[in-house]
Structure 1
Amino acid sequence: MALVAATVVMAVVLLFQIAAEQDAAAELQSRALAERALDAHRAHLQRSLHDYAAWGDAYRHVLPQVDLDWAYQRENMGPTLHSDLGFNLVAVVGADDDARYALTDGVLVMGALPAPLRETLRDLAHQARDTADGIRPPMLLAPLPGEPPLLIAAEVVSPAADPTIPLQPGPQPVLVFGSRLDDAALAALGRTMLLSDMRLAPPGTCRSGTSGLPLRDPAGAALGDLCWTPARPGQEMVRFVLPWLLGGFAFLGILMVLLLRNARHTARLVDGWSRRLTRAYADMREKSALDPVTLELNGQGFEIEATKRLTLAEERSALLLLGLDRVKLISDVFGHVVGDGLLRRAADRIRQVVGADALVARTGQDDFAVLLPAAPAEAMEALARRLVEALEQPLDVDGIEAHVGVTVGLARADGAIRTAERLLQCADMAMHAARAEGTRIRAYDHGLGEEATLQQKLEADLRGALARNEFSLVYQPRYDARTLAVTGVETLVRWTHPTLGAVSPARFIPLAERTGLIHDLGHWVLETACLDLVSWPDLTVAVNMSPMQFQKSGAADLVARVLQRTSLPAARLELELTESVLFEYYGGAKDSLHEIKALGVRIALDDFGTGFSSLGYLMDFRFDRLKIDRRFVKEIKPEGEARTIVQTIIRLASALGMAVTAEGIETPLQMDVLRAEGCDELQGFLLARPMPLADLERLLLAQRDSAAASPGPLDQTEPTIVALATG
């Protein structure tokens, strides 16, 4: 019993010692988090300031005087800097070192600033002008009488890389942003680092049980202490563990008396059971942690092993997430045996590039993760490029030469990214951003996290946008290349968000496709365009269908129902689709298109030349029209490759009995070349921009009146109206 009592005392002492060490560690960690929160706030201030200071339009509108209409009324440097970005002070210091334009809390005050603040701005402007290019702009904490201190940064306004804006002689204007460190701002700042009730207190007055970080002005004088309540995990542990510990030892003492005679025999039995259970658990864990195809770790095993390495390496690790392309297509065409072999070859090639010490895992159907010690950003990107180059080389699988693409997302462990799960999430966001941007490699930055939040908001709002009548249509005319008469219009869908304003189709169309809302949206665009234009009997309505609409059967039924409801003859309808529809959904698309053509509807191939451009598709589907992508039109010159490509497409279409439309025409030269080469239809900003239905009808009426007044009929082909369900 004496041994039990001594053990109890030692355990209690050890418990309190561990609790004290945990509390001390938590205190240090909270201080580091507070400093990191301030650093992040400073970085946000400097980054936002640089975005506005190195802006050619800003330079043009602040010299020689600040253009109030541009800056304030049109909110280029107006109240949104306070409402959206949280800046309490915005000022432009002129060549005479006085504030020529100033906002406080989003309110225009011009030069009505306190004298101490004006003096501070004057000193900061001098420092900013003396700062060399590439050096971090000056920043300081400015005390204000009776108010919380102001974190201020300044940078010289410049035309940056805009060659069209000359640099004016003399002292340059300086842009100043300021953020007030009041209780609300500090509390929000603390929440980003999970620090409770962060606030500013007079020097040396932080309450007992809180932590403090001194803040000083440029002269070194104390402005106050940044106070917060750190976590006390040790105290919580004591409150929870101590009663159980004491109760456990009491029970143990009684139990020892009862089991002393059988202790040796029981120990042998427990030891045998423990060994067998340990072996069985180890075998089960090893099998469940491996991917059966590649024999690398699977997602579960990767998370366990990555957590161990991250714990040991702290913030000195990096993760590359590789997303392979076309694996599903190859599996569907050649079978899953070839698909599995392809994954094994890819895993072997990844291992050859990264070495035996890296942690490699197959974390998704077509995804591989590589965890390794962090290196400088240039070295990590170089490794990612080697992986891309290695995986884009042909992979031989049982005599089949397979070609796959790869996209790499890169993420590094830091104070905000500590766990394996979070590291994978950040790398996944970077990988998807690379795909959206059309690049192969993308490193994660915290802006991607903000972008993901915005995407989630847009996705939630998109679900009710159609019911709230937030979508509208505008029309861009297309012209006959010979007569330059309007032969049709391309219909574009627009989304006006109630708080964000106009949302780009490049942002909301992929969201609609990913969530399945594209079916309802495409249906609405098709039916609305047909209803808008059914009263123009000489016009044909063409609709661009999303690839997602061919994922399931029923595309032909949808077209038939719309034609019936709108009374539009089938011969006046033309559907546009991209080559990706044929490549990704070959079987379903082929059947659906044959059914649609059987209705009497015409088919057009959009963006020809930018995808897979298989002549076999042109033979299989017998399109009625090809549309030349704008990137070829943009590069047209009197002589050159772009003109040769356009000439070849036009001749190919003519040989196959297809009409040709060129889009994106912006210069007279482009129009002249296309007309000379025999293109059928022209479209672009040079001829007309997108317009509402009322403006389009006025344009068509004017053309009709002009044709009626002319001495003879125009030589026109049948006009076409294009309704883009997704563009």
Structure 2
Amino acid sequence: MRFVAGKVAVFRWMLPLAIAMALMGGIYLAVRWSAQQSDAVAVKRQQHLVELVISKMQGSIAHDQESVTVWDDAVRKVSQEWDPRWVDSNLGSWMNSYFRHDGAFVISPDRKPLYAFLAGQTNEQEAFSEIGPEAMPLIAKLQERLAAGDEGGTSEQVLSIGESDLVRIGGRPAIISVKPIVSDTGDIVQEPGREYLHLAARFLDGDFLTHLGDDYGFEDLRFSVLPELGRQRSYAPIVSSSRETIGYFSWLPFRPGADVMKATAPVLLVAGALLFALTSALSVVLRRRSRRLQESQAELDHLARHDPLTGLANRASFNRLLARVVATSTIDQANALLYLDLDRFKQVNDTLGHPVGDRLMVEVAKRLKETAAGAAISRIGGDEFTIIVARTRQDEVEKLCDALIAAIRRPFEIDGQPILIGLSIGVAVATGNDADPIEITRKADIALYHAKSAGRNRYAVFGPHMDELIRTKRDLEQDLRAALDAGNQLEVFYQPVYSAQSHEISSLEALIRWRHPSKGPIAPDAFVPLAETAGLIDRLGAFVLKEACSTAREFPGLDIAVNVSAVELAQRHYAAQVLSLLRQFGIEPSRLELEITETALLDEAGVCEKNITALREFGVKFALDDFGTGFSSFGRLQRLEVDRIKIDRSFVHAFDRPGGGVAVVQSIVGIAHAKGLRITAEGVETEEQSEILRKLGCDELQGFHLSRPMSKNSLRQLLGADKAQGTSSSSRS
């Protein structure tokens, strides 16, 4: 009995221990299984992420190509007027420096490489020989599709069809993408299947793996032709469209479960008595990790839909929201899209730095949200925003625009520094659910352009007339670019300036002329302001100045005047460029006179004044053109020194009208001479005007009565006649 009782006692003692050990073992096995499952999920997620990144990279490369292949200029430069330098700058090496493509090629319709660029490779033939065998099947397939008229489901996101695949080049994995070079306007007719092609290549090893590992937390990410299946590594196959495996990516996987096991196993073995507490702790740890994963996922989802700086919706969210608002609108519901652009924001970045610019952008977003409460606000890039106002009326939209402009014009203060910027707004209003979101956006963008052209800090509501104005201006801008490139449409004419007393030619004024091959002569008033807004004024001004210097060298006895835009004069290196050109042609600076307009006096940054001061120190003279027609005053002349004032032709033409301009001109001449300035009168068209101006004390005269603007050849004949006869009045007819 004692033996039996002893066995029962031992059993009773062992039973709790056995239960505890079994429970601990069960918990251990459960934790281990959970860790393995967690590791498996993490590994699968990383594998899926690799596949997703490669897929997005394919689409991104094709999208990058479309920024240069759907372009009239590209079609002309590769098929009509082959320009290797232009092709390299726009279709070749630029794709590497801007988009980080490793290779860029231009392929003829006969499948021959016309241009080849491969990073690290200097020989074009060798460069294409590495890519060609893998690219030719894609080129052939794309040409077949193009010849068959296949558009490939192009949309606003996909502008042209293309072929793309994953290949192995020289043992390296790569993405190859082929796109046709096509017209963006449709004005250039191309034979289907005979388009020139653009080939892009991006290797998926090297820096790509480095960036992928850094951005997504892959440890020791590698590429290999054969899988590295070691127990400690995970891998993902790289599969082409033909289902051929071209290699594998492998990495040390993220194993959250293994980390948990390392932390908890010693505790389980040592602290058996704290079993339930440990179980609770593990549950908390797992819940926290799960919560962090959920929070990370939520953060990623938020970043995918919002601008990280301001927290506003991004471009993708804006596109989806606008489409949804339009689709759910009733037939009589009016919706408005406001396209916003900050004025002078670039100057803030340039002068105060990007950190201040970022903080200013955050403050701008706050004011927009306060002013347009309840509306859908998005930041679509840089200093551009959109606001969608559903179920509204035009008068309400106009009030909102006024409020937004007033809100942004109030000074911002960052680190005690007051910052003043402005706001321009383009508005498009659409009614019903059959409106096209893309068309609404385009109209708002056009209206924004008109608002900026009208002087900024204002809004414009889209009207049908804006389309035609934009199209005409865009065509003229393209023609002007072509004229500057061609070099045979633009010509510099010269109008002599005569001494009022001796009637001899004292100087020449250089004037730009443009004879369009189909539209005929185009007035400078039409294309010079366009050159300023289109960023072409530097090229145009440089062309005129260079021609003027050449003429000054040919006629060493005459000074020459050149009109300079306030936009040119506001460039920090303008003075150095002028002096360099004078040295190149061997012209004394004192023989050059730059004619400026009153807008140069409004340069808030003071760059114009600095350039004028620098050039005057070297002897270059300055004249204030069209004096008296704007805000000119002699008080301003005290601040900005000039050598000559040119009286506007409107005062001269007023001589024969009651209360004419004789008294005004007499006052201007008197004050100018008292200040030591010379006076030139423009627009002299009669002998009577010439005599009045001479008696009033004008130093020089200029106008059609004396001489019209003439070509360089005509100038040679005139100066030749003057030399033979003296500069008499007969030469001024």
Q: TM-score, normalised by structure 1?
A: 0.47
Larger Rg: 2
